């Protein structure tokens, strides 16, 4: 019996379903994605990259940086922190509520909780527990704040404040998520290390800034300045970055995807790292400079 | 079909000689790409021994040499050698002459031109940035046209087969024939044209990479194995129904994979991908059972001495296929993937699938196919045995350290207190061992190409000498007469 047509049709069907599922459907869903707004703050997000940073993306692509660096922060889940911001008027009721929430804490500790607000009452609990405690405190007329804290190894490592989501890559024309971490994740490298000179030195000789780095040197992105020809011969000619290096650094410093969003929320930084944003935890979504601004200021640095 | 059946079946020797020119072009050029891929692989892994080595040479920097080697291997070797063996199988099983040899040669030339332009493009910084699809668009277009020409000749050869000879290998190879142009054109048009938006690019890239590495290569590799294992073991396929099951399950579930867990895409994509990938365990186990039963029973007494090494190549390849497939399925689980994703284990798994499985099966097939169509045992058995040994040592030395290093890396990355640079520094040890593996693989590849080119060269030199003797004999006799 001739199974030829049957096999052809069957295989055609099999590939077609996968094509509809993994090529066409994401195109309708993610491909139609529009910019969103930060929560809280309601600022438009993402805010495109500057021209120089976009050129830097091309340098990143051309040199295969994605072979070693991923650009995706992963999280395993979220926990809640409950913060007491103001004690309200009914102190006895509040202490009663706090005793109920923290049965293991001695009374004098609870009394101390009311001084120097805001204070974290519960940390790292799940949503239900936090809500229950929140309701008790609110019942005692106290003011509270519920913080959402993403957790996961990447976030604990300081690679980002929340997981990466599709919106972060909306306006990039080559999305290079990477499949291997030989180097650290770069999704937030601009927030982590905004110093353009550090990046330039790192590209020129990685081990001069990170002692045991295994990153290759990218000396070919630098050149000897032409005007030093006339200068004294004995002095070691300094290298200056080529345009590619400046663009690449502008791109790297523009990599900041730490705006709190509806589908990837986080509130403030209850943990010690990131001193800059600690000052105003509740509105940290607003304090992040738009990506374009940072790269603009970095560009003339060199 | 009736019209076809009236054509007299050509003799086996005619089938073989019709294959000769086209297949030699495909196989020898694939061998050269294999060597270039090895060279680029070694150059790129030197970055882990001396990070400042190519600091002034953009073209040989890790981020360019690595994808260049990968593309040379996948498109220069895998695609070409796979098509070469598939063409021979279509002609041989179908007992018909290879159709349109000239078209295949033109196609192969375009394909090689495409890969050459593509690899040069990557080295000069014109990579697209999409994994496995790094070759720039103009190179991809050349490669595609080349493939279509070769594939069209394969389809015509298939159509002219003696009726009633559609066997299990055909199933796999027919599917592979149109699978590649579909996925390749789809991915290149959507990514290379006006690109799709945001992470959809990554999803399409994953879809393509999975479909090429884990479906297309599997289809061609298994199609080849389903012909050669029964032929060399001199037994029919143990269970045809199991083979059919493996085929259908592979194409149904295999194509639904490749999206890693926890990636920044809608959650249904990785979830569905995990389901598809785990279900590929069904065809993998079916193939393993079937091949074991076919190959292991009465293997020693039936096997011809010259078939022993090719048979070992194919069996090793199938074992690697099973291990790679199981690793792929296990690491797609959300309970495992945080420890394995974005680590060296992914590289190890892909290498086991592409080189450990596909290339080894194709080597075995080439060692049988080429003497077949040359009509002479052109391969040196000693070199063949050494190629096998070096390849096995190389694959183990490459894959095992990277797999262990990957799991170690993944575990350490879970502990945020361990500094990242320290983790990587410790991981370099594994990478250095894997460079040794790469060197062994490269030596094996070199022996393969020497054996192939040398054998074919010897054959044609002998033929030329005979022709020359005949011609000069004629001259001599004429000279004597005058």
Select from B179, B190, B414 the Cβ nearest to the Cβ of A23. Answer: B190
Interface test with A, best of B185, B200, B240, B412 (most A CBs within 10 A): B200
pLDDT in tens, A149-206: 999 999 999 999 999 999 999 988 899 999 999 999 999 999 999 999 999 999 999 9
The CATH number, out of the four listed (1.20.950, 3.30.70, 1.20.120, 1.10.101), of the domain defined by the range B1-166: 1.20.120
- Band of the pLDDT at B464, cuts 50, 70, 90? very high
**What is the average pLDDT across B137-152?**
96
3-class SS at A89?
Answer: coil
- pLDDT (0 to 100) of residue A301: 35
Distance from CA of B412 to the nearest CA of A (A): 10
pLDDT in tens, B328-366: 999 999 999 999 999 999 999 999 999 999 999 999 999
Q: Which residue has the tokens 């459907």?
A: A25
User: In chain B, whose CA is at the least distance from the CA of A31?
Assistant: B197
pLDDT in tens, B255-279: 999 999 989 999 999 999 999 999 9
DSSP-assigned letters across all residues of B154-194? HHHHHHTSPTT---HHHHHHHHHHHHHHHHHHHHHHHHHSS
Question: Structure pTM?
Answer: 0.91
Integer CA distances (angstroms), B290 to B297, B388, B389, in order:
11, 24, 26
Structure tokens at B216: 């297309």
Q: What is the ipTM of this complex?
A: 0.92
8 Å CB contact between B253 and B180: no
Calculate helix-pair angle for B62-71, B12-45, nearest 10 degrees: 170
Across the strands, what pairs with A122? A82
Task: Give the B window 43-102 contacts with A, CB below 8 Å.
Answer: 47-48, 51-58, 61-64, 66-67
Whole-angstrom distance, CA of residue A116 vs CA of residue B308: 82
- pLDDT (0 to 100) of residue B27: 97
Interface test with B, best of A13, A166, A192, A201 (most B CBs within 10 A): A166
Structural domain boundaries of chain B?
A: 1-166, 233-477
Select from A170, A174, A211 the Cβ nearest to the Cβ of B129. Answer: A174
Whole-angstrom distance, CA of residue A147 vs CA of residue A120: 10
User: In CATH terms, is domain A36-76+154-301 a member of 1.10.760.10?
Assistant: yes
| Topology agreement, domain B1-166 and domain B233-477 | no
- pLDDT (0 to 100) of residue B274: 96
Homologous superfamily of domain range B233-477: Cytochrome c oxidase-like, subunit I domain (1.20.210.10)
- pLDDT (0 to 100) of residue A234: 46
Q: Which residue has the tokens 């499949």?
A: A179
**What is the average pLDDT across B120-145?**
95
Q: Count of CB atoms within 10 A of residue B123's CB?
A: 18
A236-240, A293-297, B56-60: the lowest-pLDDT one: A293-297
**What is the average pLDDT across B220-243?**
92
8 Å CB contact between B272 and B332: no
Q: Count of CB atoms within 10 A of residue A215's CB?
A: 23
- pLDDT (0 to 100) of residue A228: 53
A38-47, A163-172, A274-283, B397-406: the lowest-pLDDT one: A274-283
Distance from CA of A14 to the nearest CA of B (A): 5
Contact check, Cβ <8 Å, A64/B204: no
B102-106, B333-337, B471-475: the lowest-pLDDT one: B471-475
* pLDDT reading at B1 higher than 50: no
**What is the average pLDDT across A99-126?**
84
User: In chain B, whose CA is at the least distance from the CA of A178?
Assistant: B342
pLDDT in tens, B153-180: 999 999 998 877 688 999 999 999 999 9
* pLDDT reading at A230 higher than 60: no
- DSSP strand pairing (A143-151 vs A77-86): antiparallel
**Which residues in chain B have Cβ-Cβ distances shorter than 8 Å to A30?**
197-200, 203, 265-266
Select from B53, B199, B258 the Cβ nearest to the Cβ of A169. Answer: B199
3-class SS at A121?
Answer: strand
Structural domain boundaries of chain A?
A: 36-76+154-301, 78-150
- pLDDT (0 to 100) of residue A273: 38
pLDDT over 90, % of chain A? 47
Class of domain A78-150: alpha beta
CA triplet A141, A146, A147: central angle to 5 degrees? 155
* pLDDT reading at A279 higher than 60: no
Q: Which residue has the tokens 């080595």?
A: B53
pLDDT in tens, B13-68: 888 888 999 999 999 999 999 999 999 999 999 988 998 888 889 999 999 999 99
């Amino acid at each position: 019996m001739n199974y030829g047509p049957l096999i052809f049709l069957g295989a055609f069907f099999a590939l077609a379903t996968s094509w509809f599922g993994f090529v066409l459907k994401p195109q309708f869903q993610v491909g139609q994605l529009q910019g969103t707004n930060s929560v809280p703050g309601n600022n438009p997000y993402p805010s495109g990259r500057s021209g120089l940073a976009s050129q830097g993306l091309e340098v990143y692509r051309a040199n295969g940086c994605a072979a070693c660096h991923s650009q995706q922060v992963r999280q395993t889940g979220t926990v809640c922190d409950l913060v007491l911001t103001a004690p309200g008027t009914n102190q006895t009721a509040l202490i009663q509520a706090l005793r109920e929430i923290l049965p293991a804490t001695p009374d004098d500790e609870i009394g101390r909780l009311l001084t120097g607000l805001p204070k974290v009452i519960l940390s790292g609990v799940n949503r239900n527990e936090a809500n229950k405690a929140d309701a008790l405190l609110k019942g005692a007329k106290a003011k509270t704040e519920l913080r959402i804290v993403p957790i996961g190894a990447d976030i604990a490592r300081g690679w980002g404040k929340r997981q990466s989501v599709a919106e972060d890559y909306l306006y990039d024309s080559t999305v290079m998520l990477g499949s291997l971490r030989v180097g650290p994740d770069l999704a937030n490298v601009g927030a982590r290390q905004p110093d353009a000179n550090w990046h330039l030195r790192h590209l020129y000789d990685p081990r001069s800034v990170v002692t045991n780095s295994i990153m290759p040197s990218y000396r070919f992105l630098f050149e000897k300045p032409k005007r030093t020809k006339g200068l004294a011969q004995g002095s070691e000619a300094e290298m200056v970055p080529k345009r590619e290096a400046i663009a690449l650094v502008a791109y790297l410093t523009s990599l900041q995807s730490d705006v709190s969003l509806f589908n990837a929320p986080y509130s403030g930084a209850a943990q010690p790292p990131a001193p800059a944003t600690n000052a105003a935890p509740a509105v940290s979504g607003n304090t992040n400079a738009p990506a374009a601004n940072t790269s603009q200021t970095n560009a003339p640095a060199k | 079909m009736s019209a076809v059946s009236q054509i007299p079946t050509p003799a086996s020797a005619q089938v073989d000689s019709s294959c000769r020119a086209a297949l030699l072009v495909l196989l020898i050029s694939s061998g050269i790409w294999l060597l270039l891929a090895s060279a680029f692989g070694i150059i790129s892994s030197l970055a882990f021994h001396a990070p400042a080595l190519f600091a002034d040479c953009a073209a040989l920097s890790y981020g360019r040499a690595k994808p260049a080697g990968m593309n040379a291997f996948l498109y220069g070797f895998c695609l070409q050698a796979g098509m070469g063996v598939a063409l021979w199988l279509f002609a041989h099983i179908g007992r018909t002459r290879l159709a349109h040899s000239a078209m295949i040669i033109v196609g192969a030339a375009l394909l090689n031109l495409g890969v050459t332009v593509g690899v040069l493009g990557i080295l000069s910084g014109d990579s697209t940035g999409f994994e496995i699809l790094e070759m720039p668009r103009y190179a991809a277009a050349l490669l595609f046209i080349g493939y279509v020409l070769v594939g069209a000749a394969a389809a015509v050869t298939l159509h002219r087969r003696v009726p009633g000879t559609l066997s299990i290998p055909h199933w796999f190879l027919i599917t592979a024939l149109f699978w590649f142009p579909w996925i390749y054109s789809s991915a290149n048009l959507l990514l290379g044209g006006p690109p799709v938006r945001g992470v959809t690019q990554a999803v399409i890239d994953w879809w393509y990479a999975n479909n090429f590495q884990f479906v297309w290569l599997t289809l061609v590799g298994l199609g080849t194995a389903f012909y050669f294992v029964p032929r060399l073991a001199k037994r029919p396929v143990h269970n045809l129904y199991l083979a059919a099951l493996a085929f259908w399950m592979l194409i149904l579930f295999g194509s639904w994979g490749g999206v890693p867990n926890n990636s920044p895409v809608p959650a249904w994509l990785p979830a569905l991908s995990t389901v598809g990938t785990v279900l590929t365990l069904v065809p993998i186990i079916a193939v393993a059972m079937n091949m074991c039963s076919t190959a292991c029973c009465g293997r020693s007494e039936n096997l011809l001495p010259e078939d022993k090494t090719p048979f070992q190549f194919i069996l090793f390849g199938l074992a690697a296929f099973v291990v790679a497939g199981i690793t792929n399925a296990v690491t797609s689980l959300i309970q495992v993937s945080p420890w394995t994703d974005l680590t060296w284990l992914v590289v190890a798994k892909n290498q086991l699938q592409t080189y450990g499985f596909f290339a080894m099966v194709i080597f075995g097939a080439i060692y049988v196919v080429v003497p077949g169509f040359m009509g002479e045992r052109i391969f040196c058995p000693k070199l063949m045995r050494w190629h096998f040994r070096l390849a096995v040592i190389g694959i183990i030395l490459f894959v095992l350290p990277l797999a262990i290093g990957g799991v170690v890396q993944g575990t350490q990355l879970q502990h945020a207190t361990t500094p990242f640079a320290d983790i990587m520094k410790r991981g370099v040890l594994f990478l250095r061992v894997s460079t040794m593996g790469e060197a062994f693989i490269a030596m094996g590849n070199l022996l393969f190409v020497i054996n192939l080119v040398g054998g074919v060269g010897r054959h044609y030199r002998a033929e030329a000498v005979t022709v020359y003797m005949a011609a000069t004999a004629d001259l001599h006799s004429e000279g004597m007469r005058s």
